[in-house]
């Protein structure tokens, strides 16, 4: 196998990539995600934790206070987050239904020092993002009022409750999980998935466009043609992943161990590319090959995620700087799998080339 022949095929495929609109659109999509990761971090995090937006909202929400006057009314009026309007319950609920109010609070006429509990009713719009933000902001006001009631009714206690020293939450956990647990692995491994799907297109198009015989008639052998396509797809992975990491750093996201991350991704991506190569060589038709590969890819990813020290988990630990010697053990296992797939791919390509000659 000659390196010059591999480079010729790889250069040919690189020139053809500029005509692949699907691939270019996928790259541009990743570029958008990486370039505006700080903006998307806020937007996507709000999808599974809407309350996280409360820290970014400085809007004063209109709420209605109904029922008996209490210290809760004074707390709401003193809050910079709300405009409080006192009105009767039916009018307030009607205004809430017309989206003129963000919430309605009903306080019963139970006295603060009464024996019965004070049951405050909160009316909000169901399944509404604004309601989730208002709920979080109202929670602080309600907790303050609850503390006031505890102090008023504290004289009834026969036994002093044991104080709990609960550490103050620093917050930011949702963003930390999103960035390092989802965003970075997604961006870094997406080029590997694209490259593995691309190698299927590059191989099957030779069969569909009937250009395989022309290539085989040149000094370049069939296995060299296959490895040239694999090389072209493999080179794209660290280049893309490195660009995404740079854009994430520009967005202010600190990433540790950049070189080990690129090394892990490059080696792991070769497994997907070789699997895609074998599927393309076997089916030789783009639609069938892509379907089988996509289905198999889901199974492979699920099996990989079942292992504690899987590549995705390792990427997260590398990005935050907590990975130990296990990163090299995982790399060794991945390399062993790559060597086995390389052997199978070479033998399969040689068998196909032999059948072409005898045919």
Q: Judge contact between 64 and 95, C-beta under 8 A.
A: yes
pLDDT average, residue stretch 63-78: 90
- 171 Ramachandran zone, left/alpha/beta (phi>0; psi -120 to 50): left
Q: What is the DSSP letter of 285?
A: S
The pLDDT of residue 26 is 62
Read off the pLDDT of residues 301-327 as tens digits, 9 standing for 90 and up: 888 878 777 777 888 888 888 877 877
pLDDT of residue 91: 93
CA 215 from chain centre, in angstroms, equals 41
Please, what's the b/e burial string for 44-72 (b: 16 or more CB within 10 A of its CB; e: otherwise)?
Answer: ebbeeebebbbeeeeeebbbbbbbeebeb
Residue (of 23, 42, 52) closest to 169 by Cα position = 52
The values of phi and psi at residue 205, to 5°, are -70, -25
Rounded mean pLDDT, 145-152: 88
Bigger pLDDT: 176 vs 197: 197
Within a 10 A sphere around the Cβ of 76, how many other Cβ atoms?
Answer: 20
Could you tell me what percent of the chain has a pLDDT over 90?
16
Is residue 186 predicted with pLDDT exceeding 60? Answer: yes
Residues 6+ apart with CB under 8 A from 163: none
Q: What is the pLDDT of residues 78-134, one digit of tens each?
A: 888 899 999 999 999 999 989 899 999 999 988 888 888 889 999 998 877 678 778
pLDDT digits (tens, 9 = 90+) for 278-306: 999 888 888 888 899 989 888 888 888 78
Question: What 8-state DSSP symbol labels residue 55?
Answer: G
Give Cβ neighbours of residue 52 (< 8 Å, ≥ 6 apart).
Answer: 42, 45, 46, 174, 175
- Round the average pLDDT of the chain to a whole number and report it: 80
Compute the distance between CA of residue 214 and CA of residue 155 in angstroms, rounded to an integer: 95
**DSSP string for 297-354:** HHHHHHHHHTSTT-HHHHHHHHHHT---THHHHHHHHHHHHHHHHHHHHHHHHHHHHH
What domains are defined for the chain?
3-35+173-358 (no CATH), 54-153 (3.40.190.10)
pLDDT value of residue 126: 80
| Rounded Cα distance, 166 and 224, in Å | 64
Whether 39 shows a pLDDT value over 90: the answer reads: no
All residues at 6 or more sequence positions from 260 whose CB lies less than 8 Å from its CB, including other chains: 318, 323, 327
d(CA 298, CA 307): 15
| Torsion 143-147-148-150 (CA) sign | positive
**Beta strands 121-123 and 103-107: pairing type?**
antiparallel
**DSSP state string for 129-198:** HHHHHHHHHHHHHHHHHHHHHHHHTGGG-SSPPPP--PPPP---HHHHHHIIIIIHHHHHHHHHHHHHHH
- Overall average pLDDT of the 4-16 stretch: 69
Task: Please report the pLDDT score of residue 163 as a whole number.
Answer: 74
What is the C-alpha separation between 194 and 182, in angstroms, rounded?
Answer: 18
- Considering the entire predicted model, what is its pTM? 0.62
- Three-class SS of 197-251: HHHHHHHHHHHHCCCHHHHHCCCCCHHHHHHHHHHHHHHHHHHHHHHHHHHHHHC
Closest Cα to residue 280, out of 355, 352, 217?
Answer: 352
**Gap between the terminal Cα atoms of the chain:** 23
Give the residue from 216, 179, 217, 167 showing the smallest Cα distance to 45: 179
């Amino acid at each position: 196998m000659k390196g010059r022949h591999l480079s010729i095929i790889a250069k040919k495929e690189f020139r053809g990539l500029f005509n692949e609109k699907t691939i270019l659109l996928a790259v541009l999509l990743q570029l958008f995600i990486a370039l505006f990761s700080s903006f998307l971090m806020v937007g996507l995090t709000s999808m599974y934790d809407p309350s996280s937006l409360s820290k970014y909202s400085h809007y004063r929400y209109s709420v209605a206070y109904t029922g008996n006057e209490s210290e809760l009314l004074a707390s709401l009026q003193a809050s910079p987050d709300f405009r409080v309007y006192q009105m009767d319950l039916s009018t307030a609920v009607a205004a809430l239904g017309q989206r003129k109010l963000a919430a309605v609070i009903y306080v019963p006429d139970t006295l603060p020092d009464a024996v019965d509990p004070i049951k405050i009713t909160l009316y909000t719009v169901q399944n509404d993002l604004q309601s989730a933000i208002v709920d979080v902001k109202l929670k602080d006001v309600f907790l303050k009022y609850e503390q006031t009631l505890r102090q008023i009714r504290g004289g009834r206690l026969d036994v002093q409750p044991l104080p709990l020293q609960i550490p103050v939450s620093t917050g930011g956990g949702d963003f930390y999980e999103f960035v390092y647990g989802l965003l970075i692995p997604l961006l870094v491994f997406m080029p590997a998935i694209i490259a593995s799907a691309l190698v299927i297109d590059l191989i099957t198009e030779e069969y569909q466009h009937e250009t395989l015989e022309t290539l085989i008639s040149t000094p370049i052998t069939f296995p060299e043609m296959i490895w040239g396509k694999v090389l072209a797809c493999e080179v794209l992975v660290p280049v893309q992943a490195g660009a995404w990491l740079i854009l994430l750093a520009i967005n202010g996201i600190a990433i540790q161990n950049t070189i080990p991350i690129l090394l892990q991704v490059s080696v792991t991506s070769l497994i997907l590319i070789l699997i895609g190569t074998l599927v393309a060589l076997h089916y030789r038709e783009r639609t069938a090959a892509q379907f089988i590969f996509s289905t198999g890819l889901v199974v492979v990813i699920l099996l990989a995620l079942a292992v504690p020290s899987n590549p995705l988990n390792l990427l997260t630990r590398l990005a935050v700087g907590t990975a130990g010697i296990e990163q090299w053990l995982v790399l060794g296992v991945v390399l062993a799998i790559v060597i086995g797939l390389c052997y199978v791919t070479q033998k399969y390509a040689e068998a196909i080339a032999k059948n072409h000659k005898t045919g």
